[in-house]
Chain A
């Protein structure tokens, strides 16, 4: 009887304890044998920090045989090879002072049937500034600084310093365009308080604006692009309530004031809503482009007669609103609507195509489109942006992303698929495929490039 009781007791212990014991040991056993649990001394703040990488990218273009509005010169290569060296460094002088430098150098070869027949290079000094923090809640910056306002992903109306800032880049994803852009030479002060912050910056005119399509073969700082006019920005954000922290931005460019506001809000654990508006008096895209062309010596004064009226300046709005949806398995979806009041309406597009077929103004017409791209503003009034991305997709360290930018007026689309694979701590590869689709008389269907593909290999240091 006693033996029986002991047996049942042991059985009860085994039944209740065994699964848990195994579970515990299973997890413990998977902890790798590592160095003894010695405590390293805390790492001291480094004087120099930063990163650098070098790489090479080959790009293939597929072009359209005929265009509704011909290019003034046919200059699209079939192949392009880019070698690039990219780096960013932060040097900490002391606890209050640091210097930041960010630069990208690209050597570009256009490859036709023989390799290479044409060469080019460009250097983009993206940032070079000194930061001084005389007090915990105060910061000053002087030099070329990349300052970005707004919350929109594809288009941020209050990002007033985006104009003429595009640097050399591989991907057309707006996140890549943000990364590889030039800062603006400025003096900036920021003050932080418990529920918000204010900042004021002054970006002086340092050079006359350089014309569009200036040769990229230069080590020029590009001050004529980023500092072609005196500009002032004042910004403030204040947390009025929990998760209600709007940011207001006022902008003056030497001629007129503009202003805007942006806001974000979390909707549950997965969704972030965002919206942004900016407004101010401005001319139409046609007028602005032709005025710029005249000011920079590209066109004679007479070209201004081409724009609809000599002065179509009026109050114009720009809006960006959307949401980001994040899943537990690392999938991120962004859907965004963009409205740009200065962009082409359906009527403007009809005029653009009609003028191109009936006149010899191809150069002027394509110049408007180049101007919009240079200013990083939407060419059309209404568009929709959709982006889907997944980190660690199928394999760890593979990021897949795809986006579509849809002209809501004519249904034409620019689409991009990108795969990034970091196959070691140092090496990574990127594949990008782009298509421009739509009817012949549409924004993206009328572009000379129908599709392109890029294969790039990078090594970080």
Chain B
């Protein structure tokens, strides 16, 4: 029943978007889908994600994560496996996220514990930022304008401005303002809001390079809006297409997750 209601709501919103943008060559949702393809290679892949936290401009912590992402055809969303590589204290810890199902493994206690979806949001660069997510699967997009935006590399880029509203419980944020470069569909900037409407963080996508058949951002700068002295940089290296067995996406495999 809830699913039916969600589908009806989705259909209604899609219809509204279509009616309100009759002249648009592309709908906001199709733009969002194109940007998803820029951020996420279609085939199963692995990437090394290096996060550096800055406090008042000085680096305070570095975390290196190995991410394995694969599209779950059942829910149309990516399922992710994350293994901590650095720091040494956290090496071997692993995380599984498939929809709203999250498990965390700690080699020190040999315990795999269930954690709540809320924990996607914790940390400056939350799990929701680290994991591969198809935004078009979780949000309804509306085109709210076109404007020039200054990128992280201090270039002025012509962008579409999209307003994304959470459409599913799996959506990490309540609302996102999203600037996408016209023509390339490169995400340039995003503002992430909590369900309460409070601005949580601003992200800038940069360092576009060719990887796995497309131009992909290899740097993301996350500026914290709750504690304005905090900034996190995320660097993606070593994109590689790999065959990831479905059998890996379950809690009991977490202790065996490789780093390669």
A contact residues vs B (CB 8 Å cutoff): 20, 24-25, 27-28, 30-34, 37, 39-46, 49-51, 53, 88, 90, 95, 100, 102, 127, 131, 133, 136-137, 139, 145-148, 151, 175, 178-179, 183, 190, 192-197, 199, 237, 239, 242-243, 245, 264, 266, 268-272, 274, 324-328, 330, 391, 425, 460-461
Q: Which residues on A sit within 8 Å (CB–CB) of B107?
A: 88, 90, 100
Q: How far is the CB of B246 from chain A (nearest CB, A)?
A: 4
Q: Which residue of A lies closest to B243 (CB)?
A: A136
**A25→B189 CA distance, assembly (Å):** 12
Contact A460 B116 (CB under 8 A): no
Bitwise interface map of B from 74 to 91 toward A, beta carbon under 8 Å scored 1, else 0: 100000000001011101
B118 interface residue (CB < 8 Å to A): yes
Contact A133 B101 (CB under 8 A): no
B194 interface residue (CB < 8 Å to A): yes
Known: A272-B116, A461-B88. 14 other contacts (CB 8 A): A32-B54, A37-B153, A43-B237, A95-B258, A137-B247, A192-B245, A192-B248, A192-B250, A237-B251, A264-B114, A269-B117, A324-B114, A326-B115, A326-B116
**A331→B121 CA distance, assembly (Å):** 12
Contact B121 A151 (CB under 8 A): no
B contact residues vs A (CB 8 Å cutoff): 48, 50, 52, 54, 57-58, 61, 64, 74, 85, 87-89, 91-92, 99-101, 106-111, 113-119, 121-122, 147, 149-150, 152-154, 169, 189, 194, 202, 204, 206-207, 209, 218-219, 221, 223, 225, 228, 231, 233, 235, 237-238, 245-248, 250-253, 256, 258-260
The verdict on A37 contacting B252 (CB below 8 Å), with A27-B202, A148-B109 known, is no
**A175→B104 CA distance, assembly (Å):** 13
Contact A37 B221 (CB under 8 A): no
The verdict on A269 contacting B100 (CB below 8 Å), with A49-B88, A326-B118, A326-B119 known, is yes
The verdict on A151 contacting B114 (CB below 8 Å), with A39-B209, A39-B218, A197-B252 known, is yes
Contact A175 B119 (CB under 8 A): no
Contact A51 B101 (CB under 8 A): no
Q: Which residue of A lies closest to B110 (CB)?
A: A146
Q: Which residues on B sit within 8 Å (CB–CB) of A461?
A: 88
- Residue among A20, A137, A190, A266 with the most chain B CB within 10 A? A266
**A166→B30 CA distance, assembly (Å):** 57
Q: Which residue of B lies closest to A28 (CB)?
A: B150
Q: How far is the CB of A320 from chain B (nearest CB, A)?
A: 13
The verdict on A40 contacting B252 (CB below 8 Å), with A32-B57, A90-B92, A192-B247 known, is no
Instruction: Pick the contact of B122: A28, A88, A242, A330 (CB < 8 A).
Output: A330
Q: Which residues on A sit within 8 Å (CB–CB) of B54?
A: 32, 34
Contact A133 B247 (CB under 8 A): no
Q: Which residues on A sit within 8 Å (CB–CB) of B252?
A: 190, 192, 197, 199, 237
Contact B207 A39 (CB under 8 A): yes
29 contacts between A and B (CB under 8 A): A24-B150, A28-B152, A28-B154, A31-B152, A31-B204, A32-B58, A34-B54, A37-B207, A37-B219, A45-B259, A49-B88, A88-B108, A136-B245, A175-B111, A178-B110, A179-B106, A192-B245, A268-B117, A269-B118, A270-B116, A272-B114, A274-B114, A324-B114, A325-B116, A326-B115, A328-B194, A391-B122, A460-B88, A461-B88
**A243→B99 CA distance, assembly (Å):** 9
Q: Which residue of A lies closest to B209 (CB)?
A: A39
**A272→B58 CA distance, assembly (Å):** 37
Q: List 7 tightest A-B contacts by C-beta distance, closest first.
A: A42-B238, A146-B110, A192-B247, A194-B246, A27-B202, A45-B260, A32-B57
**A266→B116 CA distance, assembly (Å):** 7
Q: Which residue of B lies closest to A137 (CB)?
A: B247
Q: Which residue of B lies closest to A136 (CB)?
A: B245
Q: Which residues on A sit within 8 Å (CB–CB) of B231?
A: 30-32
**A25→B54 CA distance, assembly (Å):** 18
Q: Which residues on A sit within 8 Å (CB–CB) of B147?
A: 20
Q: How far is the CB of A158 from chain B (nearest CB, A)?
A: 13
Q: Which residues on B sit within 8 Å (CB–CB) of A133?
A: 256
**A461→B91 CA distance, assembly (Å):** 13
Q: How far is the CB of A394 from chain B (nearest CB, A)?
A: 13
Contact B110 A46 (CB under 8 A): no
Contact B206 A460 (CB under 8 A): no
Q: How far is the CB of B170 from chain A (nearest CB, A)?
A: 9
**A346→B194 CA distance, assembly (Å):** 50
Contact B121 A425 (CB under 8 A): no
**A386→B157 CA distance, assembly (Å):** 53
Q: Which residues on B sit within 8 Å (CB–CB) of A90?
A: 91-92, 107
Contact A39 B235 (CB under 8 A): yes
The verdict on A40 contacting B88 (CB below 8 Å), with A268-B169, A270-B116 known, is no
Contact B109 A179 (CB under 8 A): yes
Contact A193 B207 (CB under 8 A): no
**A179→B119 CA distance, assembly (Å):** 22
**A183→B255 CA distance, assembly (Å):** 15
**A324→B113 CA distance, assembly (Å):** 11
**A161→B259 CA distance, assembly (Å):** 29
**A354→B235 CA distance, assembly (Å):** 68
Q: Which residue of A lies closest to B233 (CB)?
A: A34
- Residue among B57, B115, B223, B247 with the most chain A CB within 10 A? B247
- Residue among B108, B218, B251, B258 with the most chain A CB within 10 A? B108
Q: Which residues on B sit within 8 Å (CB–CB) of A272?
A: 114-116
Q: Which residue of A lies closest to B98 (CB)?
A: A242
